[in-house]
Structure 1
Amino acid sequence: MRINRILLPAVLLLLALVIQVSVLGRLQLPGATPDLMLLVVIGLALVYGPTSGSLIGFAAGLLADLAPPSDHAIGRYALVLCLLGYAAGLLRPEGSRQRSSLSALLVVAVAAVASTLLYAMVGALVGDTAARHVGLTGLVLSALLYDVLLAPFVVPAVMALARRFDGAPVITESEDGNDSGLGTLSRYRTTREVSALPGYGGKKRRIPGLAKRP
């Protein structure tokens, strides 16, 4: 992985872990706790792809397993987030397309349900029946609600940071799956990105009005 694909996830995961433990974990909400670590993993996986997504998910889960107050076997959540990071990375749009906010929200919703179910299944395999006593249905529904409500504030920001530090041009995917813009050149917003287009020979040329796009 590139150095930016190591430093940025490390900073985001540490920040998410601090907020998860010191803020979200103390809210004492009914049912599950909002899973900020999961949202960060999903956002990064949707930009970096399955391999990086699985590695980031494993690291995030291992941090969560080791962070106090940890009351489960180490590696349990690492396995869950590793699988979800890989699965979310498979949904990364082709090329430099940007996934729409609605489709990203659907990915989060599926991941929230899957993470709760997988965590309970792994717990059952190692003899942890805590989810059975709390109520698995209530945990799934509350995790889905909390993560979907938190996702619009976290996932787009994480994806934007990942693209910015990765240096990849952005092609926005509209809700109907079509590219937004006025053609191929309108997808590139900076002089450096335009210079990389076929036929420009590596020379930096500014296209009138291009840099003024919002």
Structure 2
Amino acid sequence: MTGSRIASAVAGVITALLLQASLLGPLTFPVPVSLPALLVIVVGIYAGPGIGMALGFATGLLADLGSDHPAGVQALCWLAAGLAAGMLGGLATQRGYGTRGVAALAALLGAATSGVLGLVLAILGSHAATAVLALTYLIPVGLTDALLGLLVVPLVRNLLRAQGIRSPRPTARLIGNADALG
């Protein structure tokens, strides 16, 4: 990973965490909407499962260290979200899903991630986390993630396509392709 890609990832994660803590968290309280989790999911959709997992674990661990619940819970849930997003995202991008389709996929994965995180926290006995609340907030989280996704998806897609931070990918040449012939 090049230095500019790492710097872009760090800047994106810190920005998402700051926006979550200062703006989104207070506005959506008590619904556990998570902009950093949505960012991990959208990056996973476009960049693949490996990058989604790495970004999910790093972002989740950073968020865990700033919270009062057991460290590592968000990291593991967001790692799984990045993996799932990367695996499903390949199918979505191959089929040509637009912004709305990717935002809907991200919203579904975001709501599922929020529900799993709430259930794990309830099992671990974290204060104010119950299985009933985790299931109650699935629909509000999904709807809010869908709206946020309409803003996050084009931003992430354009940033990942930028020349300075795009990873070099080998291109396959098709036999009989008119451009390859000449």
TM-score, with length taken from structure 2: 0.80
Aligned counterpart, 2:68: 71
Higher share of residues assigned helix:
2
Partner letter of residue 153 of structure 1? Answer: L
Aligned to 2:10: 10
- SS in structure 2 of the partner of residue 130 of structure 1: coil
The residue that corresponds to 1:194 in the other structure is none
1:166 aligns to what SS in structure 2?
Answer: coil
2:79 to 78, 82, 88: 82
1:30-179 matched pairs, under 5 angstroms: 30-67=29-66, 70-93=67-90, 99-128=97-126, 130-132=128-130, 135-164=133-162, 165-166=165-166
Deviations 1:56-108 (A, max 9, x none): 000111111122xx1211111111100000110112337x8564223212211
Aligned 8 A contact 2:43 2:52 in 1: yes
Asked whether the 8 Å contact 1:16–1:37 carries over to 2, the reply is: yes
1:121 positional shift: 2.6
Bigger-Rg structure (1/2): 1
Q: d(CA) in 1 for partners of 2:90 and 2:80?
A: 19
Work out whether residues 57 and 76 of structure 2, in 8 Å CA contact, stay in contact via their aligned partners in 1.
Answer: yes
How many Å separate the matches in 1 of 2:58 and 2:114? 18
CA distance in 1, matches of 2:19, 2:181: 48
Q: Distance in 2 between matches of 1:198 and 1:80?
A: 44
Q: Does the CA contact (< 8 Å) of 1:39 and 1:155 recur in 2?
A: no
Change (3 A) 1:121 1:137: closer
Q: Which runs of 5+ in 2 are unaligned?
A: 170-176
Contact 2:53 2:83 in 1 (8 A): yes
Change (3 A) 1:135 1:125: closer
CA-to-partner distance for each residue in 1:28-52, whole Å, 9 max, x for gaps? x354143110121122112221011
CA pair 137-92 structure 1, distance change in 2 beyond 3 A: closer
C-alpha distance in structure 2 between counterparts of 1:118 and 1:4, whole Å: 33
Partner Cα distance (1:62, 1:150) in 2: 22
Question: What's the % identity of the aligned pairs?
Answer: 32
For residues 159 and 146 of structure 2, what CA distance do their matches in structure 1 show? 20
SS at match of 1:128: coil
Q: Which residue of 2 aligns with 1:198?
A: 180
Name the SS for the 1:198 alignment partner: helix
Cα distance in 2 for residues equivalent to 1:122 and 1:40: 21
The residue identity in structure 2 corresponding to 1:141 is: I
Shift of 1:13: 0.4
**Gaps spanning 5+ residues in structure 1: where?**
170-183, 186-196, 201-214
Looking at structure 2, the residues matched to 44 and 199 of structure 1 have their Cα atoms a distance apart, in angstroms, of 35
Partner letter of residue 38 of structure 2? L
- For these two proteins, the number of residue pairs brought into alignment is 171
